[in-house]
Amino acid sequence: MSNLIINDTLANDEWTLVRLPASQIADRKQAGKVVLFKLTGEKTVTEEQISGTAIPATGKIIVPLSVYIARKPELEQRLHANEVGIWVDTHELLEDLLNSVSNINSLPIIAVHVERFADGRIFSLGSLLRTRYGFKNELRAFGDVLRDQLFFLKRSGFSSYVIRADRSAQDALASLKDFSQPYQGAVDNPNPVFKRYNRTA
Amino acid sequence: MYKYDEIDQQIVNERVEQYRDQTRRYLAKELTEDEFRPLRLQNGLYIQRQAPMLRIAVPYGMLSSKQLHKLADIAKKYDKGYGHFSTRQNLQLNWPKLEDTPDILAELATVEMHAIQTSGNCIRNITTDQFAGVAPDEIVDPRVLAEIIRQWSTFHPEFALLPRKFKIAVSGTKDDRAVVQMHDIGMEFFLDKNNKLAIKVWVGGGLGRTPILGTVIHEHLEWQHALTYCEAIIRIYNLHGRRDNAYKARIKILVKALGIDEFKRQVEAEWAHLKDAPNTITEAELARVSKHFEAMPYENLPAQDASFDAAISSNPAFATWVKRSIHAHKTPGYRAVTLSLKPHGSAPGDATSEQMHVVADLAEKYGFGELRVSHEQNLILADVKLSDLLTVWEKARAHGLATPNIGLLTDIICCPGGDFCSLANAKSIPIAVAIQQQFDNLDYLHDIGDIELNISGCMNACGHHHIGHIGILGVDKDGSEWYQVTIGGSQGNYASIGNVIGPSFSAEEMPSVVQKLIEVYIKERTAEERFIDTAKRLGIAPFKAHVYAEKNANKVEVTV
């Protein structure tokens, strides 16, 4: 069984993640500390990594945005067969994703990868994909995904979650229901409580 | 004040259960230390030097008698019988047990209280003027929108894990008492030329390691858009604020890096999509929340009270207290009263359980059952009749709550510092206490007059040292504690950040350093000048010369 939750239930994962190979460029050292960041702390992807990414010949695949952009012709046919989704990291620009597809809803799945639990950019990305860019298909969160993010992820428009491998997805289901009447409008229910409930007091 | 309906109650109840389960998982080792940290912080629980510290939310500083009685009971039952009122108008318990915190939160929920988002990288407690609703210069009661913003920001899913903490202050008066320019977002309410409620929005202010005053990002925002405009600002921040370095992660750094024009352009572009979205505040919601803040059932009283006037002329101690502790009120015959939590020789902002019960009783009998916490760390009874003031004073005095030092040198703003806080570089309470003892002469204090002395035990600036007329910052030099002194900082409409006068001092030197700063002021002041006015007029030079005179003289002797 995978650690995947789709909507509110456990599910089998039909998708294969296509990973970039490890970077061959050594991390620069500065004052004894590894410097990984430009401004916000992320590595950049190299040409070698993109060309060196092994794409399986068949099956449903989720490919990194950088690979998708650079190697689109190879993937065109499978995209039409609804077999290609895109992996977006939280530091990547949604504009790059939008510029690389003619219609965002031609993608059956967008999977947003969160490297650290505390990285709340994933919530804004979800909100923007759903409300600004009208994405209607599966929106998945994976990476350092633990049950205490789920309620927020769900409200930010995510529809599936891969719980980190060392934790129980079964236990995590309960956290989708942490609160029954949230105050503010969000993606899952745009109306704030003062518009959905008669607060007479 | 705002009273919960079933929706509000359900949210805090569900939070207690959520947190209880998070704590259970942590104690069962299902959550690591690192994983539990953001969860407990968002519930106000720090792990400190001696014990955990629990910060309880007091939304925009408003408390009922019933709530304060409960806080007193909690401090007694789960702590050492006292609590610390903070500069964010919250209450901190210094000695609770981690295992007890779910029960504490459950008790708080029974009086419509919680510890939600009192720490962590999220939207924190909304703060405002402690005289909201009663101040004569008030244009708009800021508490209505403060409450609406509180609800909107509570568990806002998109802003649950921001790059860093995010503080919002609101103000509804001409004279700003909420320090809006020191906040990530400051909202200044006013009535526009059509007599419509509007908001001037400030962004990018903050203290901490890099003190910066906020900049106006929107001159005239209609009130309906308060929430969607905040969403636009915070979305830009959430996406683009730095996450690689905690010291560079506040919104002020992003605003500075982009420049206010570019930041504003991005926010306005974002807001173009969010404006008029469902989170736009309705007339009906404004009216619903406003009802909770209607004027108290005041009696029709004359502006003067003979018994009060008589007490002033016959009782000099009472008269001295009145001079410092009583504030003007919108309604004739009423006054707002500040009860000092700064008796000389004890930790500023601390109150014992007994004192809390006393204040709660006073509020019940003489203040319509409500009180406030000020960001200067005192307690306020906002609606006391002139004829009751003498009784209030007598009872307050009997419990050490009537030191007549409000706004004076010993009314020190002070963080818990190195005695409690694991972030601190240096102790702050002993410095405050030593200064209070040095100036333990009421006549002298009153002669020095209005002055604000603020102490922080580290760069995080919980004691707002940057905006103190005299600011003291604890610093660590090679493992020992030193204190850096600034002068010329101020809050209010003409907020400014103080200038460092020179090399730092040891703890023992601090009372005499303050003494010397005061000596320069006394010598140089004109008849109307407060310390801050003299400091701003003269700059740091004469203060510096006098404070370091002895040190420099010693140096000369050594070299000769």
Reported confidence tier of residue B422, pLDDT bands at 50, 70, 90: confident
List own/partner pairs for A63-71 with CB under 8 A and 24 or more apart. A63/A18, A63/A87, A64/A18, A64/A19, A64/A20, A64/A89, A65/A89, A65/A92, A65/A96, A65/A97, A65/A100, A66/A20, A67/A18, A67/A20, A68/A100, A69/A96, A69/A100
Mean of pLDDT values over B321-338: 97
Nearest by Cα to B373 from B409, B333, B413, B408: B413
Mean of pLDDT values over B60-87: 96
Q: What is the pLDDT of residue A42?
A: 63
Q: For residue B366, tell me if it sits in a domain.
A: yes
Least confident of B154-163, B175-184, B400-409: B175-184
Residue B258, pLDDT > 70, answer yes
Q: What is the pLDDT of residue B477?
A: 87
Q: What is the pLDDT of residue A36?
A: 36
Residues of chain B with pLDDT > 90, as a percent, come to: 88
Contact: B7, A117; criterion CB under 8 Å: no
Same domain, B262 and B359: no
Residue B558, pLDDT > 70, answer no
Contact: A193, B151; criterion CB under 8 Å: yes
Domain architecture of chain A: domains with CATH: 4-196 (3.20.20)
Q: What is the pLDDT of residue B554?
A: 61
Contact: A201, B3; criterion CB under 8 Å: yes
Same domain, B376 and B417: no
Number of domains in chain B: 4
Q: What is the CATH number of the domain that holds B283?
A: 3.30.413.10
From B7, which residue of chain A is nearest by alpha-carbon distance? A181
Contact: B151, A201; criterion CB under 8 Å: no
Q: What is the pLDDT of residue A35?
A: 35
Who's near B371: CB < 8 A, 6+ residues apart? B63, B64, B65, B68, B359, B360, B363, B379, B380, B381, B382
Q: What is the pLDDT of residue B162?
A: 97
From A197, which residue of chain B is nearest by alpha-carbon distance? B7
Q: For residue B121, tell me if it sits in a domain.
A: no
Same domain, B186 and B245: yes
Q: For residue B311, tell me if it sits in a domain.
A: yes
Nearest by Cα to B143 from B135, B132, B151: B132
Chain B residues inside the 8 Å CB shell of A190:
277-278
- Name the domain boundary from B258, B291, B324: B291
From A186, which residue of chain B is nearest by alpha-carbon distance? B157
* pTM, full prediction: 0.92
Domain that holds residue B34: 6-109
Q: What is the pLDDT of residue A31?
A: 40
Same domain, B313 and B217: no
Reported confidence tier of residue B75, pLDDT bands at 50, 70, 90: very high
Chain A residues inside the 8 Å CB shell of B11:
179, 181-183
Q: What is the DSSP letter of B138?
A: B
Same domain, B16 and B100: yes
Q: Which residues of chain A have a Cβ shorter than 8 Å from any chain B Cβ?
A: 37, 39-41, 117-121, 123-125, 127, 131-132, 146, 148-149, 151-156, 175, 178-186, 190-195, 197, 199-201
3-state SS, residue B343: coil
Q: For residue B99, tell me if it sits in a domain.
A: yes
Mean of pLDDT values over B163-189: 94
Could you please report the per-residue DSSP string of A125-177?
HHHIIIIIS---SEEEEEES--HHHHHHHHHTT--EEE--TTS-HHHHGGGGG
Q: Are B486 and B470 spatial neighbours (Cβ–Cβ below 8 Å)? A: yes
Burial of B151 (0-12, 13-18, 19+ CB in 10 A): buried
Contact: A201, B5; criterion CB under 8 Å: yes
Q: Tens-of-pLDDT digits for all 201 residues of chain A?
A: 689 999 999 999 999 999 999 876 555 544 433 333 334 456 678 899 999 999 999 999 999 999 999 999 999 999 999 999 999 999 999 999 999 999 999 999 999 999 999 999 999 999 999 999 999 999 999 999 999 999 999 999 999 999 999 999 999 999 999 999 999 999 999 999 999 998 875
Same domain, B548 and B490: yes
Mind listing the pLDDT tens digit for each residue in B436-481? 999 999 999 999 999 999 999 998 898 999 999 999 999 998 889 9
Chain B residues inside the 8 Å CB shell of A186:
156-158
Q: Which residues of chain B have a Cβ shorter than 8 Å from any chain A Cβ?
A: 3-5, 7, 10-11, 14-15, 18, 22, 35, 38-39, 121, 151-163, 227, 235, 238-240, 242-244, 273, 277-279, 282, 284-285, 288
Q: What is the CATH number of the domain that holds B72?
A: 3.90.480.20
Q: Are A161 and A142 spatial neighbours (Cβ–Cβ below 8 Å)? A: yes
Reported confidence tier of residue B21, pLDDT bands at 50, 70, 90: very high
Q: What is the pLDDT of residue B553?
A: 66
- Name the domain boundary from B65, B93, B109: B109
Same domain, B549 and B422: yes
Same domain, B540 and B435: yes
Mind listing the pLDDT tens digit for each residue in B208-218? 888 899 999 99
Task: Check residues A144 and B492 and name the one with the higher pLDDT.
Answer: A144
Q: For residue B126, tell me if it sits in a domain.
A: no
